[in-house]
Structure formats: structure tokens, C-alpha cells
Amino acid sequence: MFFRYIDIEMQLCLLTKEKSLALYNLTARNRAYLRRWLPWLDGIQKPGDTDYFIGACLKRFATGEQLTCGILFQNQLVGVAGFNKYNYSTGTAYIGYWLSEDKMGRGIMTRAVQELELIAFMEMNMHKVEIHCALENTPSRKIPQRLGYKEEGCIRRAENLYGRVVDHVIYGLLKEEYLAR
């Protein structure tokens, strides 16, 4: 099982079926906020939908396709962060994340992303980490900006969020940039 202590009050843990109800409840409480930025909310209508999601994530973890972690803050599930996918031919890991609206502004996601960077560069020997954010999603964009990622471009009309099509900003961090920090 994957479990990482980040500090005294925060951990990353592999999402498993034991966290399913907590994840469902967290998603339900944050549905209106998350719907602005995430396209999958309509697919999570009941706890069983979260069970299915976690099962799919575990299968992709077992095959080396992704890593989906719960973020525990003061022993409470407060969000999700991980590698949505890998491109092994280029050595690139793609980080995705979301956090409960009431936990924003505490540095939680910054610390989670820093831990994922360490895993990507130092343990998986990746050469690059990318983060894609909706252009208007200022809180999400602040994470890679704060951590020194380079803004590499914008993909226009990248995602349809319930009838609202948004652009994505691409942020990248190379291993040598990470090591130079």
C-alpha cells in the first residue's frame, strides 16, 4: 500500500475502498465548487459511483498508469492529488489535484504537489512534471506558479465543463530545475 507522511499533520495515501464513503461525502459537500473546474461530477451521484472510481484507479495503479492519492490533513480526507498519467517515453508525469474549498489557503496542496515532485523525480526518475489548469482557475494555477514551474503555453478550448468550454494553461518543471531549487 502507498502511504507517505508529508509532515506531522499531513499524509498522502493510496485511495482504497476503505476511503470510498469519505471521498463520496467530500465530493458531495464540494459539488458546486468542484463543478466549476472538474468534468466528472455528474458521474458521482451515489457512494457506489465512488467505489467504482476507486476500483478503476487501483487497477491503473497496479499497471503503472497512474497514482491517485487521498490527501489526509489532521487525519481527515480533504482532497485528492496524484499522477493522472505518465508518458514513459518522454519521462513525464502529469499531476492533477483538487482540494475541499474550506481547506484552501493553508498550503495543503502546495505540500502535496511537492511530495509528488519528489516521487516523480527522485523515485521514478522522471524528467518532467506537468500540471494543466483551466485558465480561469486562479487557485489551481497558483500552485505551479508558487513552485517555480514554467508556463509553457495555453491549449485553447481544451475542456468542456458542462457546456462551458475552457482553455488550459500548461505548466512544466524539469528535473534539473527541481534539483536547482
SS3 of 20, please?
Answer: helix
- 72 φ, ψ (degrees, to nearest 5): -100, 125
Please report the pLDDT score of residue 22 as a whole number: 97
51 grid coordinates? 467505489
pLDDT band at residue 181 using 50, 70 and 90 as cut-offs: very high
On the question of pLDDT at 1 being above 80, the answer is: no
Q: Maximum distance among all alpha carbons in the chain?
A: 45
On the question of pLDDT at 10 being above 90, the answer is: yes
- The stretch 118-146 carries a mean pLDDT of 98
Q: In what order do the strands lie in the sheet with 10-14?
A: 3-7, 10-14, 67-73, 76-87, 92-99, 128-134, 164-174, 150-161
Q: Which residue has the cell 505548466?
A: 171
Please report the pLDDT score of residue 2 as a whole number: 87
pLDDT band at residue 31 using 50, 70 and 90 as cut-offs: very high
CA gap 18, 99 in Å, rounded: 19
On the question of pLDDT at 55 being above 90, the answer is: yes
On the question of pLDDT at 104 being above 80, the answer is: yes
Average pLDDT, the chain: 97
Please report the pLDDT score of residue 75 as a whole number: 95
- Which helix (H) or strand (E) segment holds residue 141: the answer is helix 138-146
Domains of the chain: 3-180 (3.40.630.30)
- The stretch 108-127 carries a mean pLDDT of 98
Q: Which residue has the cell 486562479?
A: 138
